[in-house]
Structure 1
Amino acid sequence: MTFHDRPIGIFDSGVGGLTVLRALRERLPTEQLLYLGDTARLPYGTKSPETIARYAVQAAGLLVGRGIKLLVVACNTASAHALDALRDAYPQIEVTGVIEPGAEAACAASASGRIAVIATESTARAGAYEAAIRRIRGDAEIATRACSVFVALAEEGWLDGPVAEAAARRYLAPLFADKDAGSRPDTLVLGCTHFPLLSPVLETVVGPGVVLVDSARTTADRVALMLDRAGVASRNVHFPAEIRLLATDAPDRFARVAANFLPFPITPAMVELVDLQQASPAAGPARPSRPLEV
């Protein structure tokens, strides 16, 4: 296999990063994708920054051992705390997270400089989006809101209806409904990879004139640019290319929840169970998963 034909590696603490995988498939249909959900140790958000970095390096090590050409950290918490550790551990691999692409897109989209960020509690507490936005646009007015219930709604497939709308109104009222027209944000960053699934109900609640920034799609655009600049885009003329899914625990639950994130059916047989404690970058695949035909 030539370097060009190696897969793009993607990892997350669970299934949320599948929105990034889906965006990559739509943006780059000829690229092979290898996804790892560290389901045995989720959520990362309750762990210390040191532990998050250690987990991320272990997860990336397995993907590097499978021969990836680029690493996508499809986890906001790991993007906030582990990118430097990953680049130090694997200098031979280009790495991108989801926060910087989302921040860049938000700054480009906002005419007023008033930007709202919704995220999980750990990502909101870390202030990573605020820091990234202010590095690009120092005068930005940023309001952040933790919306952790959205994660459960996405994983249960409750993407519309009265429960989803009530949760959205409860969370977003302080950012939008309770603001006068001159102080309302004009841009909303979906700062968790679960949240794009709720985009229709979020658009209804915030109303017209607010741009939703999907960090999954902006990350896919960043990856396309990185591959082009490095000259390592796939030369495969047959698409869509294969997707492989790995999990560190409960492939059956992974498959069940993944069905809410992906536009094709998933069964437990399609998910390879892996052990990060035994993995190393030098190790090859122990038992290949069955590639998805999508």
Structure 2
Amino acid sequence: MDRPIGVIDSGVGGLTVLHELKRQLPKERFIYLGDTLRCPYGSKSDQEVQQYTWEMVHYLIQFDIKVLVVACNTATALVLDQLKENLSIPVIGVIEPGARAAIKSTETNHVAIIGTENTVNSQAYDLALRNIKPNINTTSVSCPEFVPLIESGRFVESDAIDVVERSLASIKEVYDIDTLILGCTHYPIIQPLIEQVVGDQMTVLSSAIETGSEVSTVLTFYNLHQSQTVDETSLEPVILTTGSLHVFERIKEEIFQLKSASLKQISLI
């Protein structure tokens, strides 16, 4: 079925999911939309997050997408159920895949979650973890400085480690946490800094790998895999953003090697 898979995020963070989707599903076409202009979503009201998410979805629907991947933890926490109820295509979020990965990883039965204020306040990860394993212990901490650090490109500067140290100080004080969920798809971009701060005693997990596996399963279940032979040049993802192209261009090339991906600025308003 020669229809693209749509991926949405509040900014550049969802490129971590897109990168993994491309790795696991090399024959599929992808169209990505990052709402950088209104990022971060983590401190917005529930109503704003719902409105912005639906605006992104309505924009991508015009491309006849066959699956929607919500590569934003805040939107997954606040809007996923609405999307599933109202769209006629499969919709996949990033929280349940991340929770499953953490359950597989932890040996001490204590998992930490870091995310935006909205994601942490929603307790979406805590609920997802306890739905799988009711007696799991969780510690959730919001890191509101992380997304602006990444979206601005300042994460490569020397003082970025200070921001990470300050944000994760309370987690480091809990002795038995052995697994840390990056509850925002922006955070894997600074995963080396996070791992440096928390040390070897914690396994740091992104939900991208598990999300890729779930998308593959859904494509198989609904018989939606790419069935036609297509020119490889048409498989390069289309990346759309509502904001500046500069940070997107830099991150997509330097971190994700998406050098030939088409990048375009669009308006949702």
2:131 paired with 1:139: no
Q: 3-state SS of the aligned residue for 2:37? A: coil
* Residue from 194, 201, 204 that aligns with 2:196: 204
Structure 2: any 5+ residue segments left out of the alignment?
Answer: none
Structure 1 unaligned spans of 5+: 278-294
Partner of residue 115, structure 1: 111
Provide closer, same or farther for how the CA distance between residues 83 and 235 of structure 1 changes in structure 2, counting only shifts above 3 A: same
Which residue does 2:174 correspond to in 1?
179
State the partner residue of 1:244. Answer: 238
Mapped partners of 2:100, 2:12: distance in 1 = 24
* SS of corresponding position for 1:60: helix
Residue in structure 2 matching 1:25, options 6, 22, 34: 22
What aligned pairs does 1:50-129 form with structure 2 within 5 A after superposition? 50-90=47-87, 92-129=88-125
Which residue pairs with 1:192 in the alignment?
184
> How far, CA to CA, are the matches of 1:174 and 1:41 in structure 2?
29
Query: Deviation at 1:264?
Result: 3.3
**Aligned match of 2:263:** 271
The alignment-based identity, stated in percent, is 38
- C-alpha distance after superposition, 1:157-198 (max 9, x if no partner): 45567523333332223212x234xxx211100111111122
Equivalent pairs counted in the alignment come to 267
The equivalent of 1:281 in structure 2 is: none
Give the partner amino acid of 1:95.
V
Residues 198 and 45 (structure 1 numbering): CA distance in 2 closer, same or farther, change over 3 Å?
closer
RMSD: 2.3
Q: Are 2:40 and 2:147, in contact at CA under 8 Å, matched by a contact in 1?
A: no
Q: Relative to 1, partners in 2 of residues 1:13 and 1:212: Cα closer, same or farther, differing over 3 Å?
A: same
Quickly say closer, same or farther: Cα 1:113–1:19, change in 2 above 3 A: same
Q: Is the 8 A contact 2:153 2:247 kept in 1?
A: no
The offset of 1:130, in angstroms, is 1.2
Q: Letter of the 2:268 partner, please give it.
A: L
Q: Which residue is equivalent to 1:255?
A: 249
Secondary structure of 1:6 counterpart: coil
Shift of 1:112: 2.0
Structure-1 residue corresponding to 2:6: 9
* 8 Å CA contact retained: 1:11, 1:73: yes
Structure 1 stretches of 4+ moved >4 Å: 156-162, 236-240, 256-261
Do the aligned partners of residues 161 and 97 (structure 1) sit closer, same or farther apart at CA in structure 2, a change above 3 Å counting?
same
TM-score between both structures, scaled by the size of structure 2: 0.89
